[in-house]
Amino acid sequence: MKRISVFLFILVLITNCLKKEPTAPETGTVSVTVFDSEGIPLEGVKVILAEYTSHTQYTNSSGECTFQDIPTILCVIHANKSRFSSASKKINVKAGKNSMELTLYHQNPYFITLSYGLLNEILADTKRKNLYVTDDYSNTIAIIDIEKDTISGYIELSNEPVWATISSDNDYLFVSEEDYYLGGCIEKIDLTSQSVAFTKETDFEPYDIEFGANLLFVSPDYYYYSDSIMIMDTESLGVVSYITGGNFENALLEIDTTENMLYAGEYSTLYKCSIDSGIVVDTISFYYSTFYDLTFDEERKLLFVATYYDDEIIVIDTESFEITHTIYIDYPTALTLDEENKRLFALTRDYYEGCKVVEYDSLFIERKAYALPGVYYGYNILYLPTNNRIYGLVRDYNYNSAIFVLLLDA
């Protein structure tokens, strides 16, 4: 009996010695770095690691995030960020450290949704790195942070904004506003405080407004004082004088301060006016046309005129005031210029191909066209040399108004 007991005791000891402690499953850490197409780290990217369960992290300022204690199995990494394409990649997690890099590409163009309103004017404030967009739906000016491409605030206005202009020092914005019952007003906006500094009521509905030589030039809307352009001082918004001698109803304005000349495009007549004498000095008449935009070249020697119904961009020598070139293009609605690289951009509307931005070189030869998917109509565009982008005001097929951001090729 003793022998059996001893044998059983020894057997239990051997069995206990042969038992192994359960080992923990092997795990690893997974470090993910996300870049944009230019190799710049992207902050704020949502990164999801999917295995049996999902783990979510956001990249830091270095474009990095790390997942801890991930089982050594096959996993999938997903990365996405607003205004960028998403990216996914598989990884076989090994014990210890694992790393992965992902690249996200800009959606081009991408859109900043604003309102149902009509967006007419877009202006750049290089001092504060802002864009200002007039919105007649909410009677406001939307402030766009250029570095973040987000709406950072609004400036409340008294009436519906029509057009706007910015002072040469970027400290003040001047807005023409209309009221269907009371006429309208001109408002002076202090861009430091982002508030209305002064309001000047008018007994007519103002239309376009331009800043030049420390003066304001205002054209009339329909039926109001259509034979003159009002010149105002920028301090009290008092009337200084008028430019007369033409029909300036709904005229778009451009100012050449080097020659002290004003150019006004009204339906089918283009006027060249002397600011000093306040009279029309020359005209160009067209049989049938509607001017949608005017803009100068970098030296103010050429004036580009978008004629919507003629399907043309007319190039005019400002000295001789004669047409030198004609660019044929479907329904041009807005123009902007890259002065340094001598590139002209036109926003167009084609009923079959949709809206697009067309780029022309210094010889007015089409270089490239950028499609704007989902855009029904375009109102205005602005080239920004600091980031080589075009910002535009458009409306989609559901009548939502938005700002598009288009990244240009070098």
Q: Could you tell me if residue 323 is inside a domain?
A: yes
Q: Are residues 34 and 71 in the same domain?
A: yes
Within its chain, how far is the Cα of 20 from the centroid? 66
In this prediction, residue 226 carries a pLDDT of 76
- Bigger pLDDT: 308 or 220? 220
Q: Are residues 61 and 121 in the same domain?
A: no
Model confidence at 104: pLDDT above 90: yes
pLDDT digits (tens, 9 = 90+) for 220-270: 987 666 789 999 999 999 999 999 999 999 999 999 999 999 999 988 899
Please state the rounded mean pLDDT for residues 117-140: 91
Q: Are residues 89 and 49 in the same domain?
A: yes
Using CA atoms, how far apart are residues 296 and 299, in angstroms rounded to an integer? Answer: 8
Q: Is the pTM here over 0.85, yes or no?
A: no
In this prediction, residue 354 carries a pLDDT of 78
pLDDT digits (tens, 9 = 90+) for 314-367: 999 999 999 999 999 989 999 999 999 999 999 998 667 779 999 999 999 999
Q: Are residues 210 and 246 in the same domain?
A: yes
In this prediction, residue 6 carries a pLDDT of 46
pLDDT digits (tens, 9 = 90+) for 391-405: 999 988 778 899 999
Q: Are residues 244 and 331 in the same domain?
A: no
Using CA atoms, how far apart are residues 177 and 206, in angstroms rounded to an integer? Answer: 7
Q: Looking at residue 242, which CATH number applies to its domain? A: 2.130.10.10
Q: Could you tell me if residue 201 is inside a domain?
A: yes
In this prediction, residue 32 carries a pLDDT of 97
Please state the rounded mean pLDDT for residues 287-308: 90
Letter string b/e over residues 237-270, b meaning 16 or more CB atoms within 10 A of that residue's CB: beeeebbebbebbbbbbbbbeeeebbbbbbebbb
In this prediction, residue 37 carries a pLDDT of 86
- The pLDDT confidence band at residue 13, using thresholds 50, 70 and 90, is low
Q: Are residues 96 and 120 in the same domain?
A: no
Q: Are strands 119-125 and 130-135 parallel, antiparallel or unpaired?
A: antiparallel
What is the extent of the structural domain holding 94? 27-104
In this prediction, residue 140 carries a pLDDT of 94
In this prediction, residue 107 carries a pLDDT of 87
Please count the residues of the chain: 410
Q: Could you tell me if residue 306 is inside a domain?
A: no
Q: Could you tell me if 164 and 175 are in contact, meaning their C-beta atoms sit under 8 angstroms apart?
A: yes
One-letter amino acid of 175 = V
Q: Are residues 43 and 71 in the same domain?
A: yes
Which of 120, 128, 137 has the alpha carbon at shortest distance from 190? 128
Using CA atoms, how far apart are residues 362 and 106, in angstroms rounded to an integer? Answer: 28
Q: Are residues 183 and 119 in the same domain?
A: no
- Token digits for 206? 């103002």
In this prediction, residue 38 carries a pLDDT of 84
- The pLDDT confidence band at residue 4, using thresholds 50, 70 and 90, is low
Q: Could you tell me if residue 86 is inside a domain?
A: yes
End-to-end CA distance of the chain: 97
Phi and psi dihedrals of 387, rounded to 5? -130, 10
pLDDT digits (tens, 9 = 90+) for 186-218: 999 999 999 999 999 998 899 999 999 999 999
The beta strand positions in 203-353, using DSSP E, are 206-212, 215-220, 228-233, 239-244, 252-256, 261-266, 269-274, 279-285, 291-296, 302-307, 312-317, 322-328, 332-338, 343-350
Using CA atoms, how far apart are residues 71 and 94, in angstroms rounded to an integer? Answer: 8
* DSSP-derived 3-state class of residue 10: helix
Q: Could you tell me if residue 45 is inside a domain?
A: yes
Q: Could you tell me if 112 and 149 are in contact, meaning their C-beta atoms sit under 8 angstroms apart?
A: yes
Q: Are residues 121 and 167 in the same domain?
A: no
Q: Could you tell me if residue 313 is inside a domain?
A: no
Beta pairing partners, 281: none
Which of 404, 386, 375, 410 has the alpha carbon at shortest distance from 108? 404
Per the structure, the count of domains in the chain is 3
